[in-house]
Amino acid sequence: MQRQKMPVYEQIAIDLANRIYDGKLIVGEKIRGRSTLASEYNVSPETVRKAIKILEDVEIVQSTKGSGVVIASRENAYQYIRRFSGLTTMKELERQMRELINERERLDEELSQTVGKVLEFSRKLRNTNPLTPVEVEVPEDCQHIGKSISELKFWQNTGATIVGIKRKGELTLSPGPYASIQAEDILLIIGDEKTYERVLRFIGE
């Protein structure tokens, strides 16, 4: 559907409002006479009169006998401009551009920080997969030899779960809480990134 063309007098009203908002026409100043404006816009004085009447109705200008037409409000000029979709001032475009640039810089910084955190976390976990068992050998002088997993409260003390025990070449999977710890056993454990260190300390006590 073709859009209806805006009347010339309304186009002139919008142009004058833009000039007021941009500071080319200052609040308190008089607008030039209708004849001058008519010549500038290449229209009839009647068309200029209609444009001025619109600006009066929205209180952008004030018209009094003997004083002519005086610019009354820059804010009202801005509000009037905002009514028209797709019409804006250069200052408004610059403001929007600055806001977009600032937002992009903020997002770039946030993205950079997030990437840094991901890389740091990946570095820490590079050799630690909580679902991949880690082998720990029980030393001969370990004070926990002969005790069961349950008796040692192994998980409570280390945060590790024993998923297997290698003993003399044989592997027992899921040994259960009553399996005992023997010297030179290889414990297959899973847990978080600190698990290995905690288990080493515990069996070395």
147-203: per-residue pLDDT in tens? 999 999 999 999 889 989 999 888 888 888 899 999 999 999 888 778 888 999 998
As given in the structure block, the two tokens for residue 156 are: 């409570």
Is pLDDT above 60 for 129? no
Q: Are 195 and 160 in contact (CB under 8 A)?
A: yes
Question: Averaged over 103-110, what is the pLDDT?
Answer: 84
Q: Are 168 and 138 in contact (CB under 8 A)?
A: no
Fold for 8-92, please state it: Arc Repressor Mutant, subunit A (1.10.10)
Q: Average pLDDT of the chain?
A: 82
> What pLDDT shows up at residue 145?
92
Q: What is the largest CA-CA distance in the chain?
A: 114
- Cα dihedral 52, 56, 61, 64 in deg (nearest 10): 90
Per DSSP, 174 falls in state S
Is pLDDT above 80 for 97? no
Amino acid at residue number 73: S
pTM of the model: 0.40
**35/41 Cα distance (integer angstroms):** 10
Q: What is the pLDDT of residues 63-84, one digit of tens each?
A: 877 778 899 999 999 888 888 7
Q: Are 52 and 69 in contact (CB under 8 A)?
A: yes
As given in the structure block, the two tokens for residue 181 are: 């710890």
* Domain 134-204 belongs in CATH node 3.30.70.1450: yes
Q: Where are the domains of the chain?
A: 8-92, 134-204
Q: Are 176 and 149 in contact (CB under 8 A)?
A: yes
Is pLDDT above 80 for 141? yes
As given in the structure block, the two tokens for residue 146 are: 């002969």
